[in-house]
Structure 1
Amino acid sequence: MTMPAPIRALRRPAGAIAAGWLLAVIFAALFAPLLTPYAYDVQNLPQAYQPASSTHWLGTDEFGRDLLTRLIYGARTSLSVSATAIAISVACGMTLGAAAAWFGGWLDRIVTMVVDMTWSFPEILIALILVAIIGPGTTGTMIAISVAYLAQFTRLTRAQIMTLKGETFVEAARSLGATNGHILFRHLLPNALAPVLVSAMLATGDAIILEATLGFFGLGAQPPTPSWGGMMSAGSALVFKAPWIIIFPGLAVAITVIAINLYGDALIAALDVRAKVRRTA
């Protein structure tokens, strides 16, 4: 019995280590209230700027709040916003890309034109413009990240569907009277799913960086809700007085993004996605 690709990716040491870190971060984010005795938003000014100790393992911030607690709750914010935004972007991008490739004509031209226009701008610029219009906060950040990565999944899905729709199994399904919707959702999209999902996982790492960047600029989750970017922003002014306030959130972002990329590479090898993309190119 063939093991699923996510399990086969664990055969690589880098993939296994990366998966372990990601599972630990996700577990901490989900069960944050059970893992720490402190509240993330309760200030204790006499304990401000405390270095790491047996009481506060990573020290305290400028308001005396436990830094490890805020780091764990910040993982909940950063991961949920980034993952949800990418999921929305994947769903919308696959729908647009599949419709454009299948129906062609004016719909394909419009979708391609809009996608090419948005892809000509950096993701951070699109996100900053949208957050400025929508307003700061987790909702605005989520929408901005979704739109910023929409072009990537639309183009990838369109390329996959354009190749697959000429295959024999599509002609067979059409000759049996299958509707356009049936062919798209039962035959084409499942066959185009693997490269899109791997791309989505890698894009989640970029989305975490983008969310942290917006948080650093004060446009992400608003205080007292912690996020890794917001914590780094607060620590940037205290880098010489209490460097741990910016170091630990920065390490959390860096290690998590590296882990996503390492596991993504292992998953690509397990799925043989590069070979499939070359065959469909």
Structure 2
Amino acid sequence: MSAPASLRAPAPLRALRRPLGAVAGFWLALVVLAAVFAPVLSPYGYDIQALKEAYQPPSAAHWLGTDEFGRDLLTRLIFGARTSLSVSATAIAVSVFCGMVLGAAAAWFGGWFDRAVTVVADLTWSFPEILIALILVAIIGPGTLGTMIAISVAYLAQFTRLTRAQILTLKGETFIEAARSLGASNGHILFRHLLPNALAPVLVSAMLATGDAIILEATLGFFGLGAQPPVPSWGGMMSAGSALVFKAPWVILFPGLTVAITVVAINLYGDALIAALDIRSRLRRAA
């Protein structure tokens, strides 16, 4: 006999009961904590140059080695986590909020507004995110703000379409008809009944999209369009290390591994969260 819903652990904690979910959650917690406490954990400044110590391999003094300017690679990797994670998470959060508002309004009110939102979302959806991001960064200009705006717009269609589909499915449910018959306003039904029930799939999709956003931010940084020097980012570090792949391979190896492991961890934890929320069964029942 399963425990009552009120006594069950929250879904993020239930996801940790799966072995892969626990490992992925541990890595993500480690990366986030390292980013938050970067000034405390880092023995060096991320922008302090020591040219005499350039190209040092991993050692006791510099655990991950140094780059072409003698800067400690571990320090820049930790501070780079601040840039990459904050830019990606903020951009996805903005995209989720705007996408849910547009998708919910389109599904609820229908008519010409629904058709307009659907056409724009489908048109945006047909282009790769990297192409949209590159066009927007070229218009806005390189930097952290331009990268956040580009990623937000690139993923807006995904959350708009998902929210619209969820609201359209829920509109015909009995509890919505009951709320309407009791005189509930459109705003009350939308914000108290529809959006809360559509929130879980959107949030899980947002978490998985954050992994893609990290790759997109790293790609823009690799092309020199992300955070500008001396602010470190994982993509920018990989870009600098690409010219040193034979002379100092650790300069590109460790940022690349960090990006890869973090993205895989996000996807593994996202899969565990999907299982904990039983989203696949809910979507099959809705279909």
When normalised by structure 1's length, the TM-score is 0.99
Matches within 5 A, 1:215-254: 215-254=221-260
Q: Aligned partners of 2:166 and 2:286: how far apart in 1?
A: 7
Q: Aligned partners of 2:11 and 2:249: how far apart in 1?
A: 41
Alignment partner, residue 3 of structure 2: none
Q: Aligned partners of 2:251 and 2:150: how far apart in 1?
A: 27
Q: 2:201 aligns with which of 189, 192, 195?
A: 195
Q: Aligned partners of 2:238 and 2:24: how far apart in 1?
A: 23
Q: Aligned partners of 1:3 and 1:55: how far apart in 2?
A: 43
Unaligned runs of 5+ in 1: none
- The runs of 4+ residues in structure 1 deviating greater than 3 Å are none
Q: Aligned partners of 1:56 and 1:162: how far apart in 2?
A: 56
Q: Which amino acid aligns with 1:223?
A: P
Q: Aligned partners of 1:56 and 1:163: how far apart in 2?
A: 55
Q: Aligned partners of 2:212 and 2:243: how far apart in 1?
A: 25
Q: 1:272 aligns with which of 253, 278, 287?
A: 278
Q: 1:211 aligns with which of 198, 210, 217?
A: 217
Matches within 5 A, 1:1-281: 1-281=7-287
Task: Specify the SS of the correspondent of 1:11.
Answer: coil
Q: Aligned partners of 1:182 and 1:146: how far apart in 2?
A: 28
Q: Which amino acid aligns with 2:203?
A: L
Q: Which amino acid aligns with 1:267?
A: L
Percent of residue pairs bearing the same amino acid type:
84
Q: Which amino acid aligns with 1:197?
A: L
Aligned-CA RMSD value: 0.6
Structure 1 window deviating more from structure 2 (81-90 vs 174-183): it is 174-183
Task: Specify the SS of the correspondent of 2:162.
Answer: helix
Unaligned runs of 5+ in 2: 1-6
Structure 1 window deviating more from structure 2 (32-41 vs 176-185): it is 176-185
Q: Aligned partners of 2:85 and 2:174: how far apart in 1?
A: 41
Q: Aligned partners of 2:218 and 2:259: how far apart in 1?
A: 8
Deviations 1:20-74 (A, max 9, x none): 0000000000000000120001111001000011100000000000000000000
Task: Specify the SS of the correspondent of 1:43.
Answer: coil
Q: Aligned partners of 2:173 and 2:77: how far apart in 1?
A: 50
- For these two proteins, the number of residue pairs brought into alignment is 281
Task: Specify the SS of the correspondent of 2:224.
Answer: coil
Q: Aligned partners of 1:65 and 1:207: how far apart in 2?
A: 27
Q: Aligned partners of 1:53 and 1:267: how far apart in 2?
A: 39
When normalised by structure 2's length, the TM-score is 0.97
Instruction: Give how far 1:89 is off.
Output: 0.4
Instruction: Give how far 1:3 is off.
Output: 1.0
